[in-house]
């Protein structure tokens, strides 16, 4: 009986930890302001856009990369994934939008990618399977 109670208590604690971790993973702790350099490059390495945008992110009004992009470009997002910028669509089967932040490949999407003042973010229209990219 005692072992059963301990098992239940530990399980509830583990579940609570899992919920906490899930919430932590979802948050974007970006409370800062500044400017980001956005560069959009098509499949032939031509620059489609090269702009610097100011942003001011607060706890009540957090700014994500998604916010900045949708404010300044015509973007298409499907299931949380960026598929189109200014009419250039990636079907994610043959092509996708690879994101580089300060010349390092981003490991998050436009809703969760952390950035700060002065960062350079490149969106490169990339063939699937092209793991080496000379965008930077």
Which 54-113 positions form the footprint of other proteins (CB under 8 A)? 92-93, 104-105, 107-108
Dihedral sign computed on CA atoms, order 85, 37, 80, 103: positive
DSSP assignment of 65-89: HHHHHHHHS-EEEETTEEEEETTEE
For the CB of residue 101, give the shortest distance to other proteins in the complex, in Å. 9
> Of the two residues 73 and 113, which places its CB atom closer to other proteins in the complex?
113
Q: Is 25 in the site for other proteins (CB under 8 A)?
A: yes
State which residue, 26 or 61, has the beta carbon closest to other proteins: 26
Positions that interact with other proteins (CB under 8 A): 7, 11, 14-15, 17-18, 21-22, 24-25, 92-93, 104-105, 107-108, 128-129, 131-132
């Amino acid at each position: 009986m005692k072992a059963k109670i301990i098992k239940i208590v530990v399980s509830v604690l583990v579940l609570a930890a899992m919920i906490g971790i899930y919430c932590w993973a979802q948050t974007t702790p970006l409370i800062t302001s500044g400017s980001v350099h956005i560069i959009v490059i098509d499949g032939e390495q031509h620059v489609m856009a090269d702009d610097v945008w100011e942003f001011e992110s607060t706890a009540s009004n957090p700014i994500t990369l998604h916010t900045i992009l949708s404010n300044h470009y015509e973007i298409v997002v499907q299931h949380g994934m960026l598929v189109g910028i200014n009419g250039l669509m990636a079907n994610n089967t043959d092509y996708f939008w690879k994101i580089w932040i300060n010349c390092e490949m981003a490991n998050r999407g436009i809703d969760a990618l952390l950035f700060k003042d002065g960062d350079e973010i490149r969106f490169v229209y990339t063939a699937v399977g092209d793991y080496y990219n000379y965008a930077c």
